[in-house]
Structure 1
Amino acid sequence: MVDTSKEELFQLIKRLRDLITVKMSNFISIFLQNLDSRSIGAVAGLALAIFFTWRMVRLPSGSQRRQRKRPAAMPSNSGVSAPSNAPLIPSGACSTSDDASAQNVVDEFFQPVKVTCRLLGVILEENSPEELQKQATVRSSVLEVLLEITKFCDLYLMERVLDDESEKRVLVALEDAGVFTSGGLVKDKVLFCSTENGRSSFVRQLEPDWHIDTNPEVITQLARFIKYQVHVSPVRIERTAANVFGASSLEHFFGSI
């Protein structure tokens, strides 16, 4: 009976999580449709602030386990011995499996937002693979926003390149900008391909919550597969889908942080 009640509780938590996700997604989608670019940036900044707060107040499960007090050992000279039929397991050990199940539900609820983003025209000054054959430069104006995203989101960067040397230039530029040391990004999460379709395939395989791109064809292809997208373009464009938002730059979309 107890196990059944706990299982019902776990299912209730999962349903609550799904309900909150759906309601918030619908709210954000409707809300953003009626905002100007400055307000959109404010909302996105608020989202990052929520991540800040959650990270500060959430206590790792490992720390909680370490704080549990163990039963005091009985002195050897006390002259008292435990009954031979007494259970030789710590009090509450039978609930370990239930605690683990509950923790798994909580961890699943608080999974970080996964974001995929192309490099050219968003993170880098360059706008074409041909330019990367000569140089790669991280845009100074986007660096602060990028570092905040890497701290609180599961970020993957990707780009189409024409040769191995271009890959090296991009990685060196990101490293020199401090992205790999100051943020949560690692080099393994910088992906390269030889075609635009290759980038689309990366995104679909990763199944991110957000994708950021400059290519309208890629945005259109992914619109029905990805929850939300940001179409970065220097000129104002019409929205192609309800889940696609336009911005002149990534830092403009997120506003001042």
Structure 2
Amino acid sequence: MADYSKDELLQLIKRFGAYLTVKMSNLFSISLDNLDTQSIGALAGLAIAILFTWRLLRSTSGAQRRQPKRQATTPSSSSVVSTHSNANLTFSGDLSSEDSRAQNVIDEFFQPIKPTLGQIVRQKLSEGRKVTCRLLGVVLEETSPEELQKQATVRSSVLEVLLEITKFCDLYLMERVLDDESEKKVLTALEDAGVFTSGGLVKDKVLFCSIENGRTSFVRQLEPDWHVDSNPEIVYQLARFIKYQLHISPIKPERTAANVFSSPSLEQFFGSI
């Protein structure tokens, strides 16, 4: 009986060790620089799970040591077989139940942690610190300078991503306009949408030009880590000078360079919709 109990406990410890090894390897594959509140919570959960399992094993071992001694009288052979069999079944059942409880506790603490939008943005931008982005068709509903003469409307679906980028990136927005009134409409639309309230973007970082290639000049002077544009010609021209580019296009274009990515929209690139 004692040997059987030790074997069962040894198997439990081995199973737990293997299970914990897998969980630890998944957890610590995350860079320490990227640890956030949720990751720290997972580490705390690990400590609690280890403590819980240690106490569980200790209580099981103690219960085995505290079992009452058999009476001196010798029972019949059939009684001995019956008692031994029942004891084995009871111990095996308890062990299985406690093993399951320990694994359930560990599973609860090691549920997959869904990354926040901020974490996704940083990962997708490869920790880039400066981003330039055109307005038409990316941030604004309008797709041509002529439409801006009538109105300017910030796309509601892109707003959350845009604000997240401004939290850790130096963001510049730029566009070609036909007159001063268009500039005012764009700035008013951005202000009404709350783009300037986060503190990461100011009006001086919204740039306007009168020709399409003026945007190319802005980007080359600013030397960003990323540029976002919907004009394939500008994307092609800048491919040699900018580290990464995101080409916004409703139809997936042919990839012109290894450093050029494509997406139907800015928010879809970050998986926020």
TM-score (norm 1): 0.58
Query: What amino acid does structure 1 have at the position aligned with 2:119?
Result: L
Match in the other structure for 1:147: 163
**Residues 1:237 and 2:253 aligned together:** yes
Equivalent residue number for residue 48 of structure 1: 121
CA distance in 1, matches of 2:123, 2:145: 36
- Encode CA deviations 1:87-111: one digit per residue, 9 max, x unaligned: xxxxxxxxxxxxxxxxxxxxxxxx9
Which runs of structure 1 show a deviation greater than 6 angstroms over 4 or more consecutive aligned residues? Answer: none
Matched position secondary structure for 1:245:
strand
What secondary structure is seen at the aligned counterpart in 2 of 1:120?
coil
Alpha-carbon shift at residue 236 of structure 1 (Å): 1.4
Given candidates 188, 193, 216, the residue that maps to 1:200 is 216
Higher RCO, Cα 8 Å, sep 6+: 1
* 1:43, distance to aligned residue in structure 2 (A): 11
SS of the residue 2:140 aligns to: coil
Please point out which of 95, 98, 119 is paired with 2:135.
Answer: 119
| Percentage of pairs with the same residue | 80
Residue 221 of structure 1 corresponds to which residue in structure 2? 237
Q: Is residue 118–residue 164 contact of structure 2 (8 Å, CA) maintained in 1?
A: no
Alignment of 1:47-126 (within 5 A): 47-48=120-121, 113-126=129-142
The verdict on how the C-alpha distance between 1:50 and 1:243 changes in structure 2, with shifts beyond 3 A counting, is closer
8 A contact 2:128–2:226 mirrored in 1: no
- State the alpha-carbon separation in 2 of the partners of residues 219 and 128 from structure 1: 17
* CA distance in 2: counterparts of 1:236 and 1:45, whole angstroms: 25
> Aligned in 2, Cα 1:188/1:152: closer, same or farther, shift over 3 Å?
same
Q: Which amino acid aligns with 1:249?
A: S
Letter in 2 for 1:159: E
Q: Secondary structure of 1:195's match?
A: coil
Residue of structure 2 equivalent to 1:159:
175
1:254 aligns with 2:270: yes
Q: Deviations over 1:48-85 (max 9, x none)?
A: 3679xxxxxxxxxxxxxxxxxxxxxxxxxxxxxxxxxx
Alpha-carbon separation, structure 1, partners of 2:123 and 2:259: 21
- Measure how far apart 1:119 and its partner are: 0.1
Relative to structure 1, is the Cα distance of residues 46 and 151 closer, same or farther in structure 2, using a 3 angstrom cutoff? closer
Equivalent-residue separation in structure 2 for 1:242 and 1:223 (angstroms): 9
Q: Find the structure with the greater CA-based Rg.
A: 2
**Structure 1 unaligned runs (5+)?**
1-41, 52-110
Residue aligning to 1:180: 196
Q: Residue 185 of structure 2 is aligned with which of 163, 169, 176?
A: 169
Structure 2 match to 1:18: none
Structure 2 regions of 5+ residues with no counterpart? 1-114
Distance in 1 between residues matched to 2:245 and 2:204, nearest whole Å: 23
Structure 2 counterpart SS, 1:231 = strand
Alpha-carbon deviation of 1:151?
A: 1.1
Residue equivalent to 2:84? none
Q: Is residue 117–residue 161 contact of structure 2 (8 Å, CA) maintained in 1?
A: no
Q: Residue in 2 aligned with 1:84? A: none
C-alpha distance in structure 1 between counterparts of 2:134 and 2:266, whole Å: 11
Q: What TM-score do you get using the length of structure 2 for normalisation? A: 0.55
Equivalents in 1 of 2:248, 2:223: separation in Å? 20
Tell me how large the CA RMSD over aligned residues is. 2.2
CA contact (8 A) 1:148 1:183 kept: no
Q: Is the 8 A contact 1:112 1:154 kept in 2?
A: no
